[in-house]
């Protein structure tokens, strides 16, 4: 079984989409719901709909992807309406709503609206979008992160988590984990894309995406060791009650297995889902089940967090 759990929420498959991929419209969300994925997360909703950055704003690369989408989305109300209708139709299938603020004050607006709604699923507060010109990735600033979390949890009483950017220094993990441990979080999601990479087309000496002079978030295989380190480092530091969604660098069942070895309770597909589409869920499920069968494992608990060190 690939079943897993976050808090009191149960999922029959450990795999789901990463926010931003295949989750902008109700039609895309419905395709995720009908797939083998354990559940789905919506595109990060902002208080108002946004067109996003100029195209081209996503490019597949040999080992992953670069994007500077700029938070194109249909606005919080659209995704909240979708979620409310969904939970009536599928009372046994909890889903995630991702929300992102254009500034610290937006998080209060977003949290209040979801708190006041009938939404019964999990809310992911995205503190790590790298692609809005002039707006820093919030979670790289501890003070702003603390202010936002204080403001959110003053009013928000529903199951919630945060989407984090990659960190690269063990002192950063110490500081961020100490901060996160103070809040009633159900989960963290680690990692968002590697912010502000740059790729060049050698035929034309030109950037491959238009926004921000070509800078964009890097995903796919480039991100794998960073994602593993972030999941592992947070698992070693967070309260055991805070679940971890592992995201980044998944192309094979082995990649899923490795994130779970580092402590992931759920695993999200970004670039691989964008490139391969919905069939990625069945392929990766089969590949993961084959690895588990070889080792005699029947459930994720048989190896979750059980990374060996030398």
Using the rule CB under 6 A, give the single segment among 29-37, 66-74, 220-228, 238-246 that binds ligand DHB: 66-74
Site membership for ligand DHB, residue 126 (CB under 6 A): yes
d(CA 306, CA 235): 11
What is the enclosing helix (H) or strand (E) of 115?
helix 104-115
- Nearest Cα to 20, choosing from 80, 99, 78? 99
* Site size toward ligand DHB, by CB under 6 A: 16
d(CA 53, CA 71): 8
d(CA 242, CA 25): 30
Q: Catalytic one among 44, 68, 128, 193?
A: 128
Nearer to ligand DHB, 71 or 177 (CB): 71
Out of 16, 71, 99, 162, point to the residue binding ligand DHB (CB under 6 A). Answer: 71
Out of 14, 100, 177, 284, point to the residue binding ligand DHB (CB under 6 A). Answer: 100
φ/ψ of 267, rounded to 5, equals -130, 130
1 is catalytic: no
Q: Catalytic one among 68, 98, 129, 262?
A: 129
Site membership for ligand DHB, residue 23 (CB under 6 A): no
128 is catalytic: yes
Site membership for ligand DHB, residue 129 (CB under 6 A): yes
d(CA 192, CA 6): 19
Measured over the CA atoms of residue 263, residue 20, residue 200 and residue 275, the dihedral's sign is: positive
Using the rule CB under 6 A, give the single segment among 62-70, 141-149, 150-158, 292-300 that binds ligand DHB: 62-70
Nearer to ligand DHB, 42 or 186 (CB): 42
Site membership for ligand DHB, residue 220 (CB under 6 A): no
d(CA 266, CA 243): 8
**For residues 211-231, b (16+ Cβ closer than 10 Å) or e, as one string?**
bbebbbbbbbbbbbebbbbbb
Output the smallest distance, CB 132 to ligand DHB, in A: 7
Strand order in the sheet with 187-190: 15-17, 266-269, 243-247, 187-190, 160-164, 122-126, 96-99
Nearer to ligand DHB, 51 or 202 (CB): 51
Site membership for ligand DHB, residue 20 (CB under 6 A): yes
Site membership for ligand DHB, residue 285 (CB under 6 A): no
d(CA 33, CA 182): 33
d(CA 251, CA 294): 20
Angle between helix axes 253-261 and 224-235 (nearest 10 degrees) is 30
φ/ψ of 244, rounded to 5, equals -125, 125
Out of 65, 193, 268, 274, point to the residue binding ligand DHB (CB under 6 A). Answer: 193
Using the rule CB under 6 A, give the single segment among 124-132, 154-162, 228-236, 251-259 that binds ligand DHB: 124-132
d(CA 73, CA 87): 21
Out of 13, 42, 46, 192, point to the residue binding ligand DHB (CB under 6 A). Answer: 192
Using the rule CB under 6 A, give the single segment among 67-75, 76-84, 151-159, 289-297 that binds ligand DHB: 67-75
Site membership for ligand DHB, residue 194 (CB under 6 A): no
Using the rule CB under 6 A, give the single segment among 129-137, 141-149, 252-260, 276-284 that binds ligand DHB: 129-137
Nearer to ligand DHB, 187 or 257 (CB): 187
Residues catalogued as catalytic = 128-129
Contact set with ligand DHB (CB under 6 A):
20, 44, 52, 68-71, 100, 126, 128-131, 192-193, 217
């Amino acid at each position: 079984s690939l079943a897993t759990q976050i808090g009191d929420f149960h999922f029959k498959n450990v795999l789901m989409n990463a926010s931003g991929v295949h989750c902008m419209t109700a039609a895309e969300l419905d395709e995720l719901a009908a797939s083998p994925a354990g559940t789905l997360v919506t595109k990060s909703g902002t208080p108002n709909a946004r067109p996003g950055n100029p195209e081209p704003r996503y490019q597949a690369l040999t080992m992953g992807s670069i994007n500077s989408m700029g938070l194109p989305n249909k606005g919080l109300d659209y995704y909240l309406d979708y979620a409310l209708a969904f939970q009536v139709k599928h009372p046994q299938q909890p889903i995630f709503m991702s929300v992102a603020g254009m500034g610290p004050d937006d998080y209060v607006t977003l949290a209040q609206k979801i708190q006041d709604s009938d939404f019964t699923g999990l809310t992911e507060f995205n503190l790590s979008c790298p692609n809005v010109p002039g707006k820093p990735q919030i979670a790289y600033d501890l003070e702003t992160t603390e202010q936002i979390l204080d403001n959110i949890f003053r009013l928000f009483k529903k199951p919630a988590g945060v989407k984090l950017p990659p960190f690269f220094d063990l002192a950063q993990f110490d500081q961020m984990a100490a901060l996160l441990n103070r809040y009633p979080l159900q989960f963290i999601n680690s990692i968002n894309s590697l912010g502000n990479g740059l790729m060049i087309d050698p035929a034309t000496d030109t950037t491959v995406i238009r926004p921000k002079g070509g800078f964009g978030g890097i995903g796919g295989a480039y991100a794998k060791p960073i994602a593993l380190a972030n999941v592992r480092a947070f698992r070693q530091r967070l309260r055991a009650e805070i679940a971890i969604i592992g995201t980044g660098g998944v192309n094979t069942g082995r990649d899923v297995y490795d994130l779970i070895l580092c402590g992931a309770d759920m695993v999200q597909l970004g670039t691989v889902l964008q490139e391969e589409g919905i069939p990625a869920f069945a392929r990766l499920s089969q590949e993961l089940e084959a690895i588990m069968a070889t080792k005699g494992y029947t459930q994720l608990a048989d190896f979750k967090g059980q990374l060996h060190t030398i």
